[in-house]
Amino acid sequence: MSPWLMLTLAMSTAVAVVVIILALRHRHPDREVDHDETPDVIEYMTMMIGVVYAIMLGLAIAGVWETRGEAQASVQREAFALHEISERLAEYPAQARAEIRADVAAYVDYAVHEEWPRMQDGEGLDERGDALLDKVRAGIVAYVPETDAENRAAYALGDQIAAAEEARNERALNAEPAMPGLVWAGLLGGGLVAIGMVFALQIRRSARELILAGLHSGMLAFLLFLVWEFDEPYVRDSAGMLEPFTTLFPNAAG
């Protein structure tokens, strides 16, 4: 199911549930309740719940956004390092250059077509990818430079393969969801309480009040969707995360 369709359904459902409950509630009003006045304690509690939940939701969004940024940065560093290895090999003899570039291409192809679908399914990186990257390192280390230009290239290649391995390790760490289950329970429970307090405010069935109640519940659904969307960037935004690889290695995009 498309993420945008899921967002639309979530917001529409939240708005519809609140509006329907309010409409049904005022078909049979409680005669003992004074609908012209809301007790001060309820207004105070609603304000405090709203403030606390807003802080909690803001911290959650900031946390998953930071995690998404770190995941994106690690993929970019890995792709750029591998691309730089391919470019720096221009100083090497044709045979060594072709062999190492073939190893780089094999690793990138495996990462894009085999490893990424596994990450979309919630699985981590595997030993096959580690072995292919180790083969790239072995090819770089095995060649003995014979000229000053090759020596300079060898130092740069050593730095780049180390950067690629570090970025791969970071990608493995960022593959897990950023939000623990306990935090999700707090966010969902707090959202239900925040929406539930709407009914404690003795809202009438006027168009203005129904619109405000619907906007309130729809906004909460949208913000919770943002947290869910950014929580697992390799799962939710796989195509966007892959862009550095497919851009720098067009042959792997097919």
What confidence score (pLDDT) does residue 8 get?
74
Q: What is the pTM of this model?
A: 0.73
Largest CA distance in the chain: 95
CB 229 within 8 A of CB 67: no
Return d(Cα 90, Cα 83) in angstroms, integer: 12
Return d(Cα 182, Cα 187) in angstroms, integer: 9
More confident residue, 43 or 204: 43
| Mean of per-residue pLDDT scores for the chain | 82
**What would the mean pLDDT of 162-183 be, rounded to a whole number?**
86
- pLDDT band for position 157 (50/70/90)? very high
Residue 180's identity, in one-letter code, is P
Return d(Cα 160, Cα 109) in angstroms, integer: 19
**What would the mean pLDDT of 85-110 be, rounded to a whole number?**
91
If you ran DSSP here, which 8-state letter would residue 38 be given?
Answer: -
More confident residue, 123 or 249: 249
CA dihedral 45, 47, 50, 52 (to 10 degrees): -80
CB 22 within 8 A of CB 240: no
CA distances 234 to 64, 69, 125, 150, Å, are 12, 11, 12, 37
Using the predicted structure, report yes or no on whether residue 4 has a pLDDT greater than 70. no
From the list 126, 228, 134, 231, the residue with the least C-alpha distance to 174 is 231
pLDDT, tens digit, 9 for 90 and up, residues 78-92:
999 999 999 988 888
- pLDDT band for position 37 (50/70/90)? low
- pLDDT band for position 254 (50/70/90)? low
Burial of 220 (0-12, 13-18, 19+ CB in 10 A): buried
User: In the chain, where are the structural domains located?
Assistant: 3-29+38-253
pLDDT, tens digit, 9 for 90 and up, residues 116-144:
888 887 777 888 989 999 999 999 998 88
If you ran DSSP here, which 8-state letter would residue 37 be given?
Answer: -
